[in-house]
Amino acid sequence: MPKPKKIPKTVYFNIDHDTNNIHHVSAWYGIVVVALVLAAGSVTNYFLTNLPEALTVADLERYPVAFIAERAWDNLKSFTDLGPRVAGSKANDELAVGIFKREIETIQATKHVNQEVIMENQVVTGAFNFTFYGSSMTTIYRNVQNIVVKLKGKSDDALLLNCHFDTVPSSPGASDDVASCAVMLEILRVMSRLPDENRHSIIFLFNGAEETLLQASHGFITQHKWAKDVKAFLNLESAGSGGKEVLFQTGPNSPWMIDAYAKSVRHPFAQAMAEELFHTKLIPSDTDFRIFRDYGNIPGMDLAHFLHGYRYHTKYDSLDYLSLPVLQRTGDNVLALTREMANSEHLSANNAEPGSNTVFFDFLGLFFVKYSMRVATLINATVALLAVLIPYLGLSAAAGNQANKAIRTEALYGFSSVLLGALLSVTTCAAIARQLEALDRVMTWYSNTWLILGIYCAPALASHCLMQMFFNAFFKNKKSTLSTGMITQARLIGVNLFWSMISLCFTFAGLRSAYIFMVLQMCSLASTIPTVVGGLQRTVRKWIFLHLSVQFIAIVCSSFYYIIFVNLFVPITGRSGTVVNPDTIIGIVAAIGVLLSCSYLLPLLRLVKQPLKITASFSAVSLVALLLACCTPIGFPYRDASNANPTTQRHLVTHTFRLFHDELGLLRHMDQGFLFEVQDQNGGRTLQEYIVSDDSFVPVEKMDTCTNEFFCGIPFDAMWRQAHFKHFWQPAQGPPETHNMFTLAYEETNQLSEQLRRIRFKAEGSLQSAIFIGTKPGVELVAWSLHEFIPPPVTFNGQEGYFAYITHGVPSGPWNITMDFATSANHEGFLAEMGVVTKYWEYHEMYTEEFKQLLQKFPSWAHVVPSVAVVNMLTL
């Protein structure tokens, strides 16, 4: 007997056009869509990380005026060989400065006869008030250095190129930022050998004190004789190591610079979104851009490497993790941009156009788009309108006018399901983040960022799917004549409505980032228009294939933002302090990434026969990822150098010596201890596990001296660190070795008037130092010689005080400091308390045995920055 022909259970695409309520495709198609998203992400990742081939000296004959990465690399190596170069150290202020002088002298000797190269070594002293994370201070620099080189043009008006060669302690600072200096040296070399003089001069500023709160750039822009000639600047920075440099800040009010970038740069990577993100202050960094803009009133562009931010400010920011192609790419771009700007008629025109913001972005580095905000408003509004209107009119024409109401209803369901799905996914991610924090399992994705896909993206997707299923189950129009395919298309109109509203909100709030949503809508239109024109709405599969193919491009665009955000924010959680749960930050990033990438795929769930299967698979993926994260070594956040990409936990440890003096200047108490600063959520636990031996280890706020000493007598060199990071204290057996301390010796008191006293001190010593001062009730600090103005007070442990941060470059002689105190008529007793801090960085040879042993206790995946400090507490 012949076997009866099996009737397939699942009817795929060959169903009748107008059949209602038949689910078309099997749940396996969900996997196809997930594969589509992952493939798009891989394409994006490729374009984000691929670099051009590097040129070597052997290529010189073929490309005589090109940027040669190998020469820049040789310079870079000679700087990183010096090790960490903290401002004021021999490595920075003697050896690095020496290398610059020699290199520039060689450039002068090999330049073209038509070119003029002038070098100056600026040694500069100054001060300014500075606010970082809401905490004010006066920052003072004494004898910090700049190497300034002018490549003379036909006019004195100049383009400034800026980099810094100093580093934070314990880091060779290859990417941050001496690679930029090496790139600038090579640009100078290439441009000095060109036969034609540029239209404008170019000033190369190699600055020697940036990590000390942007001081050397301030010294240049406020005091150097060439500063007044600077009309625009390019600042080359790094908050990572390797990869592509991104243009992330520009202006103010100078669209001509974006034009120059668009015209000249060969490998563009620039996002107006990055600028707006930077201005939210979510990124704990600042650059010299701020100094040139605020103190020089000059427009400019900020370019930085940001990939592999784990290495930023650690020992791993070394040559080992950089490559010639990284220099080649940045060099090609900056050389082209420099030539363009230095020969632009706009440079000296000073034609600032107030309020003229430019929207700009690149597409995978392949091409660059820019237009003014005015044009953006027009584009965004038009696209927002068309993205809703065209599919609506098209569907209405296909289904007949009587179906209009049903289409509108379905569109509203589509809108609501995406909106509520977004809210549910954020809530779910936040709940998981909270739970992981409660389980003491935060930052499990820190090394393996793919875990984020499972821990947060999958549940975010499951939330969206649940919301779609909810709408499919409970918001059905039984009388509707629309086919399932048309209902799905109507719901997609709702998705467009959702993005239209967001795009318009952004646009009318003046936010340029609205282009992100506009591009998504453009992609949707790119499939909707042929669907409408070709009358494909009633087909079963054609419109879906069209929709999915264009969505591939849309997902390439949106996954780009996900990948950038993950690469940016994951390393930042390693130094963003303990105030916010890092899992919450990443959970929200994941939920946003899912919404951007998948919103146009979600309504297709209606076409799936068993949507629960898909939702359940996402939940299962999430569960597996959570298990891996919480119960296996995969979820351990940190990796040491045995891993190709070390991801470390950051620690600062300060062996501290404290001396407390009474109003007669006599010593009333002294002690010593270790001050620990942890920069991420897990840092405290590491100290408990590896370092602490007894219960004398306490949070700084619980120290005995916190009840009776000003600012707890802690050697802070900046008060924002206190607000940002958690600090612990453990008594030490012995004091550190100290020499050449920074001292503030009392000289005399002058009664300026009945209620105004001036105290004069003599400051001596050339080490990194800080002064904090708090007045007694009825006393006011009205002036000091450190700066024209006194900054607003900072608060710590319920006390208010003033903070001065002092950097010394080339050693200087003694200097006088005066402070004027106004007292109330009946004031008696002393005036103020003052802490004088000396900080010894890169002081390894002087560490005590006890300190060395303590440092050895840290695990290999910790990056520990040790230092020694002395606090002298004085009573005035």
Query: What one-letter code names the amino acid at 698?
Result: V
* Residue 747 φ then ψ, to 5°: -110, -60
Residue type, 488: T
Q: Which is nearer to Zn ion, 162 or 679 (CB)?
A: 162
Q: Is the Cβ of residue 177 or residue 229 nearer to Zn ion in the bound state?
A: 177
Residue closer to Zn ion by CB (options 177, 275) is 177
Report the nearest approach of Zn ion to the CB of residue 412 (Å). 50
Name 474's Cβ contacts closer than 8 Å, sequence gap at least 6. Answer: none
Size of the site for Zn ion (CB under 5 A): 2
User: How near is the Cβ of 248 to Zn ion at its closest, in Å?
Assistant: 13
Of 177 and 833, CB closest to Zn ion: 177
Minimum CB separation of residue 575 from Zn ion in Å reads 14
Instruction: With beta carbons less than 8 A apart as the criterion, state whether 52 and 269 touch.
Output: no
Which phi and psi (to 5°) does residue 85 adopt?
Answer: -125, 80
8 A C-beta contact, residue 455 and residue 634:
no
- Residues linked to residue 641 through DSSP beta bridges, in sequence order: none
Paired strand residues for 840: 868
Query: Shortest distance, CB of residue 293 to Zn ion, whole angstroms?
Result: 17
Looking at the Cβ atoms of 130 and 413, the one nearer to Zn ion is 130
Contact 698, 708 (CB under 8 A): no
3-state helix/strand/coil string of 428-456: HHHHHHHHHHHCCCCCCCCCCCCHHHHHH
List of long-range contacts for 364-369, beta carbons under 8 Å, 24+ apart: 364/43, 364/44, 364/47, 364/48, 364/556, 364/560, 365/47, 365/48, 365/244, 365/267, 365/268, 365/269, 366/47, 367/268, 368/261, 368/262, 368/265, 368/268, 368/270, 369/515
Shortest distance, position 832 Cβ to Zn ion, whole Å:
35
- Nearest approach, Cβ of residue 176 and Zn ion (Å): 4
Residue whose CB is less far from Zn ion, 177 or 680: 177
Nearest distance from C-beta of residue 302 to Zn ion, angstroms: 11
The minimum distance between CB 238 and Zn ion, in angstroms, equals 6
**Considering beta carbons, is residue 130 or 674 the nearer one to Zn ion?**
130
Going along 723-798, which residue ranges are E strands? 726-731, 743-753, 756-764, 768-775, 779-784, 794-796
Determine, following the binding rule CB under 5 A, whether residue 245 of this chain makes contact with Zn ion: no
> Residue 195: how many CB atoms within 10 A of its CB?
9
Nearest one of 730, 738, 715 to 673, comparing CA atoms? 730
- Of the pair 288, 340, the CB lying nearest Zn ion is at 288
Tokens read off for 208:
């020697």
- Radius of gyration in angstroms for the set of CA atoms belonging to the chain, rounded to a whole number: 31
Q: CB of 679 within 8 A of CB of 651?
A: yes
Whole-number Å distance between alpha carbons of 311 and 646: 8
As given in the structure block, the two tokens for residue 633 are: 């070594």
Beta bridge mates, 117: 151
Cβ burial, residue 478 (10 Å; 0-12/13-18/19+): exposed
Least distance between Zn ion and beta carbon 721 (Å): 17
Q: How far is the CB of 563 from Zn ion (least distance, A)?
A: 23
Residue 261 CA to residue 370 CA, distance in Å, equals: 10
Cβ proximity to Zn ion: between 177 and 245 the closer is 177
**Toward Zn ion, which CB reaches closer, 176 or 186?**
176
Residue 683 half-sphere exposure toward CB, CA atoms < 13 A? 29
Instruction: Report the nearest approach of Zn ion to the CB of residue 242 (Å).
Output: 15
Q: Which CB, 572 or 703, lies closer to Zn ion?
A: 572
Q: Residue 239 or 732: which CB sits closer to Zn ion?
A: 239
Smallest separation, CB 312 to Zn ion (Å): 9
For residue 249, which of 328, 355, 360 has the smallest C-alpha distance? 360
Q: How far is the CB of 759 from Zn ion (least distance, A)?
A: 37
Nearest residue (CB) to Zn ion, 165 versus 415: 165
Whichever of 710 and 841 has its CB closer to Zn ion, that residue is 841
Given the complex with Zn ion, which of 179 and 453 has the nearer CB atom? 179
We find the least distance from the C-beta atom of residue 237 to Zn ion, in angstroms, to be: 5
Residue 835: strand pairing partners? 772, 873
Minimum Å gap between C-beta 764 and Zn ion is 30
- How far apart are CB 287 and Zn ion at their closest, in Å? 7
Name which of 162, 148, 319 is nearest 236 in CA terms. Answer: 162
Neighbours of 547 (CB within 10 A): 24
Query: First-to-last CA distance in the chain?
Result: 111
Q: Show the beta-strand stretches assigned E in 776-861.
A: 779-784, 794-796, 799-808, 815-823, 832-840
Choose between 211 and 709: whose C-beta lies nearer to Zn ion: 211
Pick out residues in 758-777 that bind Zn ion (CB under 5 A): none
**Looking only at residues 139 through 198 of this chain, which bind Zn ion when binding is defined by CB under 5 A?**
176-177
Structural tokens at position 613: 């299967």
Residue 95 is classified by DSSP as: I
Chain residues in the site for Zn ion (CB under 5 A): 176-177
